[in-house]
Structure 1
Amino acid sequence: MSGSDSPRQVRRRTFVLGAAAGSAALAGPLAVPAAAASFGYTDDGANYVVDTGAALVFKVSKTTGDLTSLVHRGVEYQGYGGKNSHIESGLGSSTVRISQSGATILVSVTHGTLKHYYAARSGENNVYLWTHKADASVSATRYIVRVRAGRFLNDEPDSYTYTTSTIEASDVFAKPDGQTRSKHYSRLRVMDYDYVGWASGGVGLWMVRSNHEKASGGPFYRSLLRHQSADGGGLYEILYYGQNQTEEQRFGLQGPYVIAFTDGGAPSSALFSRNLTTPWADSLGISGYVGAGGRGRVAGVGITGRDPAYPYTVGLANAAAQYWGSARASDGWFSIAGVLPGTYTLTVHKSELAVYSTRVTVSAGATTTLNSIAVPSSNDPSNARAIWRVNDWTGTPSGFKNADLMTYAHPSDVRAAPWTGNVVIGSGGETSSFPCYLWKDVNSGLLVHFRLTAAQAAAAHTLRIGVTTAYANGRPQVVVNDTWTSPVPSPPTQPNTRSLTNGSYRGNNHTFTYSVPASAWLTDTSRYNVLRINVVSGSGAAAYLSAGTAIDALDLLE
């Protein structure tokens, strides 16, 4: 995009977030002919200058390992605010070396125990990156490609180009029309995308994510993917993100992830982590690198006991690595390849709710084949017989009021339906009228009205409330008919950072159970019983940063 584009033209620029399933390779092959004569590198004194022999030339600082220039077809894309593209906010003084092996150029950066790599292949408009973090002595949680202002612009949820009104911390903004914007509002879980970036004027610039085997949080984790402001844009590969995190940090080699230029289309699907093979990197000496021959596979012939209304995901995780794959809708067959040797916990998720787990051991060069997995009926709380139920048990607040909006907007957004309002069982709108989030300062004291038969009112019942995360230890305490009050439940383990206001409901699924005695119910079957749900906690701030929790489902069992 030229600097002469008018604001009206800028607002019409397009962008793409690449979905993990069904993404089409809209661009051409990875490479132009590999014999491109200009492939090679030079030294300009301050940087190593790498010419891929296609349409891409990039520079790496010889002193810091920063990416200082990213020129495609003669146009500079790198940099804003005087900043380079780099690990975290820049490593500082580092040892930087360069070498060429046939059709590959490798730049190696060493900073203490951290090692970072850039690789170029002859004739490709791609930069391949790896980051090896050995321990916590070096802060390295992301790689950010800083893109010059004016090259690509958008007015999507993860952009704050057209607004400067800060409504939370320094990273959530409100537009004059009441819509909210933040770099946190990606909409997507890790498993939902293969790449992120922008396209404009016949050029696409993308970050193609790695398989995240050394990241944390699992397939349903959300973190920032990109941002856009008046200063420029940023594309991220998050190596570890501590916000709303459910797992400890993993160490080792992360990658490859790829900076890819195209002629405006999506990056080639050959670059997607589930497809990408790098035999050309096997002998480069990348620290922690394990080629295809040193990895194994886990395959399952099927999963029985599934609810066909929901997708099922199979995850593998241990302290060193994580992987996942989708179970086939017809029979539950799954295959997870490229797994490092070791013993893993295998978890089957109905949507995002864990319903089965076991242990599997993976060996290099071998496939661990599992017989059909039978999910016990009792493992899915949806199978319990209920007098009434609001929403289904999926490990998500999906279906509740404002649930979809909350993955790409702040709760104060003008598009949100009112967070208050009571619920009547049997009205037909129980789920859509029940707010996905409850806060101590916003809508604590929500009322649920329901009738019981004489036989039901004569017996004690178990009430269940499932949550997916909590902020500031927010948890539900219940009152029935203003005559019976439950004890204050202990808070389960949840992330201790923002969640409900930055686009993520994903924490640790937990079910609160309340044993309600028969004496709490009304004996007049024509009258509604009233359940009050209060949010209790001694911590938190005010309004949407008061103690809160995200709801999965609630029911009253027979």
Structure 2
Amino acid sequence: MSDTANRPVGRRTFVLGSAAAAGTAALAGPLAPSASAAGFGYSDDGSNYVVDTGASLVFKVSKTNGDLTSLVYKGTEYQGYGGKNSHVESGLGTSTVTVKQSGSTILISVAYGTLKHYYAARSGENNVYLWTNKADDSVSATRYIVRVKAGMFLNDEPDSYTYTTSTIEASDVFAKSDGQTRSKHYSKLRVIDYDYIGWTTGSVGLYVVRSNHEKASGGPFYRSLLRHQSADGGGLYEILYYGENQTESQRFGLQGPYVIAFTDGGAPSSSLYHANLTTSWADSLGISGYVAASGRGKVAGVGITGRNTAFPYTVGIANSAAQYWGSARSSDGYFSIGGVLPGTYTLTVFKGELAVYTSSVTVTAGGTTTLNTIAIPSSNDPGNASAIWRIGDWNGTPSGFKNADLMTYAHPSDVRAASWTGNVVVGSGTETSAFPCYLWKDVNSGLLVYFKLTAAQAAAAHTLRIGVTTAYANGRPQISVNDWTSSIPSPPSQPSTRSLTVGSYRGNNYTFTYSVPASAWLTDTGQYNVLKINVVSGSGTTSFLSAGTSIDAIDLLA
């Protein structure tokens, strides 16, 4: 959760939210009056369908292309910047747009080729509920962007570039005059970490409350841009498939609802969070691909043994059509995942972000699949192996390494980053914090690790392991120990786009193993052996866009 979530808010404050920071706000959620509010209804102004929620929100949807062309809350227009509206992608083009009122619900339907998009309003609520049904790849990605007028919500946070114009990478990473970096990519958060994204002035809050991402791709630990703030205006996103640093193919079908929510300055109502939201009122609206709660099932596990309780565990289930996840209880590993579409899924248990167990599970409509205790084999967790020394934790992330926390919300060139160079001494007590979280061919390749061995240890061959979480441009480690040099390993499958410079270390976890012969070690136990780690690749460019990799853990097995 963002460290700002429970902080007093002001005009220059933003809010990223989780269930732990749940708040309530006037007329913010489904608990608002369900009876028709005064003024609730829709009209046609010739160009748009105009919806009055009967609360404090009036919005307009273009009859031509399905754009959201106006968001007026308490008489103030919030929508739009640079002549652009809010919409799927960058706008769908000419579409078939229809409107229908069913009791206390108004539904606007947008059809663009095989893609269908929906806006719904509920009487007396300051919310817009949205669904997007993407049937194929005729639309390149799946996002909805709420464009917000300049000056409505100001901030200078990592995902803002209001106060800087100096581009340092591509056209989307910027540097301030004080050396700090800014980019829309620097959200800090994984999907599992937040329920809503937005801003508040203290008296008005505007948020996008995310959906359950069942048709999204990338799993619970995926990082994507969530919002941006610039001199021109701001953007809030619901991104369901984004090609950057993506580890999965996109999924198709109906996703939602996600919610545009206005409040009187507080967080959106927790009743809107994907884990709590009920939409029985939408069951009969005719939304393409909609599956009611009665057509879904549940998976529950009584416990998980073989865990290292120093780490959080997450259970995910996924197939080509849908993905879901839930946290395992720290005391016993119990987990429950509800609202699941029927089907057979691969179940994965993650220690941190490292997969340590997989199996298959089948879910049926209206049923609960109860699993007996899952026993994680000791050999599945690389952290259980006996090691002469180990740097970092085997948890699928670079946490604990130098600059690791900063890299989820800053560019590697940021002035706040500690030096990317410098060598490491095993036994110093600072092995992990001194070891850089990322290694690049053009920045810090050739890093040295010094360590001593006993006579018995030096008399035997040993396996050295380097775990990585992603790589850029096929960067991978080749090692030498004293006068011995390993072969160049083949590159594992990793995303082909930027990652390390846009706030994400999440790719495919992979372990490189090196069989180091006994002849490589020094026989003088008073001397340090020297491990040298080079990054090799025939791809990449220069500096922080040279071939690189993110480190999970390094150890020398006993």
TM range (shorter): over 0.9
Indicate whether 1:17 and 2:8 are aligned.
Answer: no
Distance in 1 (alpha carbons) for counterparts of 2:11 and 2:54:
33
Tell me how far 1:35 sits from its aligned partner: 2.8
Q: Deviations over 1:24-75 (max 9, x none)?
A: 2232452246331200000000000000000000000000000000000000
Question: What is the percent sequence identity of the aligned residues?
Answer: 82
Tell me how far 1:22 sits from its aligned partner: 1.0
Equivalent residue number for residue 278 of structure 1 = 279
1:60–1:69 contact (8 Å) kept in structure 2? yes
Question: Structure 1 residues 176 and 11, CA, compared in 2 at 3 Å: closer, same or farther?
Answer: farther
1:133–1:140 contact (8 Å) kept in structure 2? no
2:473–2:547 contact (8 Å) kept in structure 1? yes
2:317–2:345 contact (8 Å) kept in structure 1? yes
* 1:75-474 correspondence runs (5 A): 75-474=76-475
Question: Structure 1 residues 11 and 330, CA, compared in 2 at 3 Å: closer, same or farther?
Answer: closer
Equivalent residue number for residue 515 of structure 2 = 515
One-letter identity of the residue aligned with 1:18: G
Distance in 1 (alpha carbons) for counterparts of 2:126 and 2:499:
37
Tell me how far 1:11 sits from its aligned partner: 9.2
Distance in 1 (alpha carbons) for counterparts of 2:382 and 2:57:
54
Question: Structure 1 residues 74 and 12, CA, compared in 2 at 3 Å: closer, same or farther?
Answer: closer
Tell me how far 1:260 sits from its aligned partner: 0.2
**Partner SS, residue 21 of structure 2:** coil
Unaligned runs of 5+ residues in structure 1 are 1-9
One-letter identity of the residue aligned with 2:45: D
Distance in 1 (alpha carbons) for counterparts of 2:102 and 2:535:
61
One-letter identity of the residue aligned with 2:530: V
2:398–2:551 contact (8 Å) kept in structure 1? yes
**Partner SS, residue 239 of structure 1:** strand
Distance in 1 (alpha carbons) for counterparts of 2:240 and 2:50:
26
Equivalent residue number for residue 27 of structure 1 = 25
Distance in 1 (alpha carbons) for counterparts of 2:532 and 2:434:
15
**Partner SS, residue 16 of structure 1:** strand
Distance in 1 (alpha carbons) for counterparts of 2:12 and 2:501:
28
The CA RMSD measured in Å over matched residues stands at: 1.0
Tell me how far 1:141 sits from its aligned partner: 1.5
Equivalent residue number for residue 3 of structure 1 = none
2:12–2:156 contact (8 Å) kept in structure 1? no
Indicate whether 1:53 and 2:54 are aligned.
Answer: yes
One-letter identity of the residue aligned with 2:121: A
Q: Deviations over 1:451-500 (max 9, x none)?
A: 0000100100000000000000000000111x111000000000000000
**Partner SS, residue 319 of structure 1:** coil
Distance in 1 (alpha carbons) for counterparts of 2:409 and 2:202:
27
Query: So what's the TM-score if we normalise by structure 2?
Result: 0.97
**Partner SS, residue 34 of structure 1:** coil
Equivalent residue number for residue 37 of structure 2 = 36
* 1:470-509 correspondence runs (5 A): 470-481=471-482, 483-509=483-509
* Equivalenced residues, count: 547
Distance in 2 (alpha carbons) for counterparts of 1:160 and 1:16:
17
Tell me how far 1:87 sits from its aligned partner: 0.3
1:50–1:58 contact (8 Å) kept in structure 2? yes
Equivalent residue number for residue 545 of structure 2 = 545
One-letter identity of the residue aligned with 2:20: G
Distance in 1 (alpha carbons) for counterparts of 2:120 and 2:62:
14
Q: Deviations over 1:191-231 (max 9, x none)?
A: 00000000015100000000000000000000000000000
1:163–1:176 contact (8 Å) kept in structure 2? yes
Distance in 2 (alpha carbons) for counterparts of 1:144 and 1:129:
12
Question: Structure 1 residues 279 and 414, CA, compared in 2 at 3 Å: closer, same or farther?
Answer: same
Q: Deviations over 1:478-528 (max 9, x none)?
A: 0111x1110000000000000000000000000000000000000000000
**Partner SS, residue 519 of structure 1:** helix
**Partner SS, residue 71 of structure 1:** strand
Distance in 2 (alpha carbons) for counterparts of 1:332 and 1:321:
23
Equivalent residue number for residue 7 of structure 1 = none
Distance in 2 (alpha carbons) for counterparts of 1:266 and 1:137:
36
Distance in 1 (alpha carbons) for counterparts of 2:218 and 2:142:
13
Question: Structure 1 residues 207 and 518, CA, compared in 2 at 3 Å: closer, same or farther?
Answer: same
Q: Deviations over 1:115-164 (max 9, x none)?
A: 00000000000000000000011234200000000000100000000000
1:11–1:155 contact (8 Å) kept in structure 2? no
Distance in 2 (alpha carbons) for counterparts of 1:399 and 1:14:
28
**Partner SS, residue 106 of structure 2:** strand
Tell me how far 1:354 sits from its aligned partner: 0.4
Tell me how far 1:169 sits from its aligned partner: 0.3
Equivalent residue number for residue 554 of structure 1 = 554
**Partner SS, residue 260 of structure 1:** strand
**Partner SS, residue 297 of structure 1:** strand
**Partner SS, residue 326 of structure 2:** strand
Q: Deviations over 1:102-125 (max 9, x none)?
A: 000000000000000000000000
Tell me how far 1:14 sits from its aligned partner: 1.2
Tell me how far 1:392 sits from its aligned partner: 1.1
Question: Structure 1 residues 534 and 254, CA, compared in 2 at 3 Å: closer, same or farther?
Answer: same
Distance in 2 (alpha carbons) for counterparts of 1:26 and 1:95:
36
One-letter identity of the residue aligned with 2:384: N
One-letter identity of the residue aligned with 1:403: A
Tell me how far 1:23 sits from its aligned partner: 2.3
2:10–2:200 contact (8 Å) kept in structure 1? no
1:164–1:175 contact (8 Å) kept in structure 2? yes
Distance in 1 (alpha carbons) for counterparts of 2:316 and 2:155:
34
**Partner SS, residue 241 of structure 2:** coil
Distance in 1 (alpha carbons) for counterparts of 2:556 and 2:186:
34
Tell me how far 1:13 sits from its aligned partner: 1.7
Distance in 2 (alpha carbons) for counterparts of 1:140 and 1:475:
29
One-letter identity of the residue aligned with 1:523: T
Distance in 2 (alpha carbons) for counterparts of 1:256 and 1:362:
22
Query: So what's the TM-score if we normalise by structure 1?
Result: 0.97
